[in-house]
Amino acid sequence: MLNSIKESPLYPIVNPKSIAFFGASNNFSSMGTSQFNSLRDLGFEGTIYPVHPKEEKVQNLKAYRSVLDLPEVPDLAVLVVPTKIVSKLLEECGEKGIKHAIIVSGGFKEVGAEGGDREQELTAIATKYGIRFLGPNCIGVANPYHKLNTTFLRYLGDPGFIGMASQSGSFVTQMFNYLSRYSLGFSTAFSVGNEANFDIVDCLEYLGACPNTKVIALYIEGIRRGREFMEMARSIIPYKPIVALYIGGSETGRQAGFSHTGALAGPDQLYDGMFHQSGVIRAYSIGELFDMCWVLGRLPKPRGSRVVIQTHSGGPGAAAADSCGREGLELPALSQDTVKKLAPLVPNTGSIHNPVDITFTKNPIDYFSDIPKILLEEDNTDILLVYFLVPSQMVNRALERMGLSKDQVIEKSAKFIDAQCKSIARLIETYNKPIVGFTFRSIQEDFTKSLINQGVPVFEGPERAVRALKASVKYSRLSEKVLINTGKG
């Protein structure tokens, strides 16, 4: 593992001070223009040099006819141009002395033999000039900490803690919106494309050393350097978790993966074994990939797999218990001491056994403070899983019928929500145990949004919550084992 990201040859790719941009124009609908605009929208603080064969200005920035005309040698070249002129332009970048490039353009190995030849030509040019490049056939990178986003969609939300390397550009750029809805974000994300020069192992190395990255997410259709991948992963696991979505396990997926990036996807078991041996946690969908990252990056490591469920209705409690059972998480019995403490807080139509069902008939404040406290103090539990029936409708209705004005209702309700969410979120630190919620309401609602912003992951349905927790339990065991084996514990 690297000691610093500055040792990585990818460093200038995601931390450039100056960029030569090929393919932006004054045509609003072109891909290149979109990517150029994303870069500027995020407020990139370095210098951007648009290179355009005809225009004087591109989107109000002075344009250059050729990269050779630039007043300095930029750190990075980004190419979003027609296939047939990519090598010529890369050659010119080489002549100029540029050492790093992102080649977004497609039409290479992924389209067959002829494209393969074109890709070899690129590689030869790169070798000749000592250029390292990402792509071709990629969407570029995002490093929101550096205000860098070369993809064609705006970066939304704040910089985050998920480091991503993806063999699909969509799963970088199209996730900005997705992640921001969960108050998540990328630390740095790479779309690796055809991996003609840099590959996913290089990205893994970078992300392993990246101080903003708490958890690494991978989207994989096929790995070329299997042994290097495993060694790299193993060296990172003691410090941060790696989660991977591998597509290509089924025959239909395999075929789609092949035409997508030209990688030869291998059989499912092979990858499963490879992940298992190197400590990479496997996800089975994009949703699950980021669910796992959420819990792994946001919450303390659970000490074990014993879950206590807190609910205020039976069905969701039973569904959560069922999910735990299916995923191999335990539902321990609560100690006599805990049962005694719970008894006065839970009505007799509820349940003081695990799942603890407090129903609706007592003080809702207990739900966010006293009861979770008791459950976290219990020695038999490692994780608290809470069903949130966001009660704002009932709160609002009660306030309305008490004769409060609309504004007063909004204000009172917001205060109530804020206080409750803070109260439960604080317990994560106090007890150093993960708290995860689930709901059937929209995660865009005030209550859920507030919980999420305070640091409590809330999932749509118990299954997603439990599968994410399972990843956390896995990593906890894994890192312990690794730490012991390597003497790092």
Show the tokens assigned to 459: 């999932």
Cβ closer to a copy of itself: 15 or 450?
A: 450
| Residue 260 CB, nearest approach to a copy of itself (Å) | 4
Over the window 110 to 149, marking each residue x when it contacts a copy of itself by CB under 8 A and - when it does not, the resulting string is xx-------------------------x------------
Sign of the torsion angle spanned by Cα atoms 422, 423, 424, 426: positive
How many Å apart are CA 215 and CA 139, to the nearest integer?
A: 22
How many Å apart are CA 5 and CA 208, to the nearest integer?
A: 9
Q: Is 441 in the site for a copy of itself (CB under 8 A)?
A: yes
Sole binder of a copy of itself in the list 40, 116, 157, 170 (CB under 8 A): 170
Sole binder of a copy of itself in the list 8, 18, 167, 476 (CB under 8 A): 167
Sign of the torsion angle spanned by Cα atoms 196, 201, 204, 208: negative
Q: Is 247 in the site for a copy of itself (CB under 8 A)?
A: yes
Q: Is 457 in the site for a copy of itself (CB under 8 A)?
A: no
Dihedrals phi, psi of 367, to nearest 5 degrees? -65, -30
Sole binder of a copy of itself in the list 331, 342, 376, 451 (CB under 8 A): 331
- Helix, strand, coil distribution of the chain in percent, nearest 5: 45, 15, 35
Q: Is 31 in the site for a copy of itself (CB under 8 A)?
A: yes
Sole binder of a copy of itself in the list 3, 269, 336, 444 (CB under 8 A): 444
β pairing state of 383-387 and 435-439: parallel
Residues 41-100 that bind a copy of itself (CB under 8 A): 83
Interface region with a copy of itself, contact rule CB under 8 A, candidates 65-73, 202-210, 225-233, 460-468: 460-468
How many Å apart are CA 72 and CA 311, to the nearest integer?
A: 63
Show the tokens assigned to 485: 């084996």
Cβ closer to a copy of itself: 279 or 457?
A: 457
Residues 354-413 that bind a copy of itself (CB under 8 A): 355, 357, 359-361, 389, 393-394, 397-398, 401-402
| Residue 397 CB, nearest approach to a copy of itself (Å) | 7
How many Å apart are CA 370 and CA 368, to the nearest integer?
A: 7
Residues 275-294 that bind a copy of itself (CB under 8 A): 284-287
What's the residue count for the chain?
489
| Residue 380 CB, nearest approach to a copy of itself (Å) | 14
| Residues whose CB falls within 8 Å of the CB of residue 67, separated by 6 or more in sequence, listed in order | 20, 22, 49, 51, 77, 89, 92, 93, 96, 98
| Residues whose CB falls within 8 Å of the CB of residue 256, separated by 6 or more in sequence, listed in order | 247
State the residue for tokens 């109530």.
416
191 to 236, 259, 268, 339, 414: CA distances (angstroms): 20, 17, 23, 52, 40
Q: Is 36 in the site for a copy of itself (CB under 8 A)?
A: no
Cβ closer to a copy of itself: 43 or 315?
A: 315
How many Å apart are CA 473 and CA 250, to the nearest integer?
A: 27
Count CB-CB contacts under 10 A for residue 455: 17
Over the window 402 to 421, marking each residue x when it contacts a copy of itself by CB under 8 A and - when it does not, the resulting string is x-------------------
β pairing state of 435-439 and 148-149: unpaired
How many Å apart are CA 443 and CA 317, to the nearest integer?
A: 19
Cβ closer to a copy of itself: 51 or 352?
A: 352
Q: Which amino acid is at 300?
A: P
| Residue 172 CB, nearest approach to a copy of itself (Å) | 9
Q: Is 256 in the site for a copy of itself (CB under 8 A)?
A: yes
Interface region with a copy of itself, contact rule CB under 8 A, candidates 126-134, 210-218, 315-323, 409-417: 315-323
| Residue 194 CB, nearest approach to a copy of itself (Å) | 11
Q: Is 185 in the site for a copy of itself (CB under 8 A)?
A: no
Sole binder of a copy of itself in the list 97, 130, 267, 325 (CB under 8 A): 325
Sole binder of a copy of itself in the list 90, 101, 165, 321 (CB under 8 A): 321
